[in-house]
Amino acid sequence: MNYWSLVWENIKVSAGSVFSNFLRSVLTILIIAIGIMALVAILTAIQSIKNTINMQFATMGTNTFTIESRSINVQVGNKKHRRKNHPYISYKQATEFKERFSFPATVSVFTYATGTSTVKYQSKKTNPNVTIIGADEHYLLTTGFSLVSGRNITVSDLQLNRNIVLIGSDVAQGLFKNDNPLDKMVTIGGGKYRIAGLLEKKGATFNSSDNLCIIPYTNVRQYFPAPRRNYNISVTPDTKELYEAASGYSEGLFRIVRGLKVIDESDFNITSSDFLSKILNDVLKKVLFAATIIGFITLFGAAIGLMNIMLVSVNERTREIGTRKAIGAKSHIIRQQFLFEAVLICQLGGIFGIILGILAGNIVSLILKSSFVIPWGWIFGGVALCFIVGMLAGMYPALKAAKLDPIVALHYE
């Protein structure tokens, strides 16, 4: 017989040995599968969440930045990204900046009125968790919103303080189901508003994108009064190449609007649209690293368990090994057989674990309303990893079996 015929014969013998000890093989395969499943499931879920985060923030415009008060704090874990509590941005400062702005870019002024409002239509009403935003005519452009039907807020709406509203898809679904909401009157806070537009559904990764209403910011001043209301300013340059120049120009202009001297520190923030996305992705990288370490520890434990079971198999099959050697089997053939067994068990466990891991990871993604992901890199990586684990776990038992003296092995027991 040539070499490859011997290899194929060894593979068949190894497969037969694995399935002849069915219960033990299944338990060993499950040990490997659980380790791979934990690793692939976590990595799949993280990748899915990461993709959705990036997709959600991409809709805001990759070259948009916001001028905001430093009283706004963003904290993830123990890392604070804003510490100082500087003065708020007033209505006068925000509108003055917009009027004086003369750079090739689009400027929008907006403010958050409340996040706990109830919207009413006849006898129906929403839960008290609707976000109300006061905005101008450019808010949709700078934040990536778009209209399904109706019209946008106009300059005349702001000047005449018209009671109009753009509603999100969640609000429309809750109040009107499948009816057309345009031109219907709803109650928000203490005012009556005519629905001018319906916003396109964006998805609820952060659970607030579609549960909102946008009204002219002049209306916010009337129906949601606050003594120190803070306004934000969004700027979207006409091209990505103008981003840095627009940011520098905006900082200089707003320093003038704020009345700051040359030696004074800027008492406001200029934050890119993907700022929070970068923070969350940084956290996900740390979670990914921790999950990978845990997965490898699990696989290390599985490798030890596999090695122990293979050693038991060698002891149980000592007479078989002696018989094979007595009829002419070389030591490298015996070694190869046990290595094939270990690798086969690992590969079966790996394939089973990868399938379960993808399902488990995407179940988590489904719960979080994230995108479906098939981690091809980790599928091939998992197969390669299982091969390495099988080789490492099976090497010592295979060497031990290969070194057995046939005469001693035949007299075993």
Amino acid at 304: I
Same domain, 264 and 285: no
Q: Helix or strand or coil: residue 73?
A: coil
Q: Are residues 334 and 257 in the same domain?
A: no
Do 387 and 241 share a domain, yes or no? no
Q: How far apart are the first and last CA of the chain?
A: 33
Q: How confident is the model at residue 406 (pLDDT cuts 50, 70, 90)?
A: low
The reported pLDDT for the residue numbered 83 is 42
Show Cβ contacts of residue 171 under 8 Å, excluding neighbours closer than 6 positions: 119, 126, 130, 210, 211, 212, 213
> Distance (Å, rounded) from C-alpha 340 to C-alpha 332?
12
pLDDT of res. 30 = 85
Do residues 85 and 182 share a domain? Answer: yes
Where does a domain end: 236, 256, 273? 273
Same domain, 69 and 136: yes
Q: What is the pLDDT of residue 81?
A: 47
Burial 225-263 (b: 16+ CB within 10 A, else e): eeeebbbbbbbbbeeeebbeebbebbeebbbebbeeeee
Most confident of 3-12, 83-92, 114-123, 303-312: 114-123
Q: Which of 273, 297, 314 is the last residue in one of the domains?
A: 273
Check: CB of residue 268 under 8 Å from CB of residue 70.
yes
Do residues 18 and 346 make contact, with C-beta atoms less than 8 angstroms apart? no
Strand pairing of 268-272 and 212-216? unpaired
**240 and 195 in one domain?**
yes
- Average pLDDT over the chain, rounded to an integer: 81
**Domain region containing 250:** 65-273
Verify that 263 and 157 share a domain, yes or no: yes
Q: HSE (CB half, 13 Å, CA atoms) of 131?
A: 15
Q: In the prediction, which pLDDT does 214 show?
A: 95
Residue 205 clears pLDDT 60, i.e. is over it: no
Domain count, the chain: 2
Does residue 72 sit in the same domain as residue 186? yes
Please report the pLDDT score of residue 245 as a whole number. 92
Instruction: Give residue-wise pLDDT tens across range 213-231.
Output: 999 999 998 888 888 889 9
Shared-domain flag, residues 289 and 262: no
**Better pLDDT: 83 or 262:** 262
Task: Indicate the residue among 242, 257, 273 that finishes a domain.
Answer: 273
The model's pLDDT over 134-152, given as tens digits with 9 standing for 90+, comes to 999 999 988 888 899 999 9
In this prediction, residue 294 has a pLDDT band, given cuts at 50, 70 and 90, of: confident
3-state secondary structure 354-404: HHHHHHHHHHHHHHCCCCCCCCHHHHHHHHHHHHHHHHHHHHHHHHHHHCC
Helix segments in 59-101, DSSP class H: 91-100
Query: What is the pLDDT, as a whole number, of residue 384?
Result: 85
**Helix or strand or coil: residue 114?**
strand
Q: Which residue has the tokens 């190894």?
A: 14
In the predicted model, is pLDDT for residue 155 greater than 70? yes
Q: Give the CA distances from residue 180 to residues 80, 152, 198, 255, 364, in Å, rounded to whole numbers and listed in that order.
A: 44, 17, 9, 46, 34
Specify whether 43 is located in the same domain as 112: no
d(CA 234, CA 254): 12
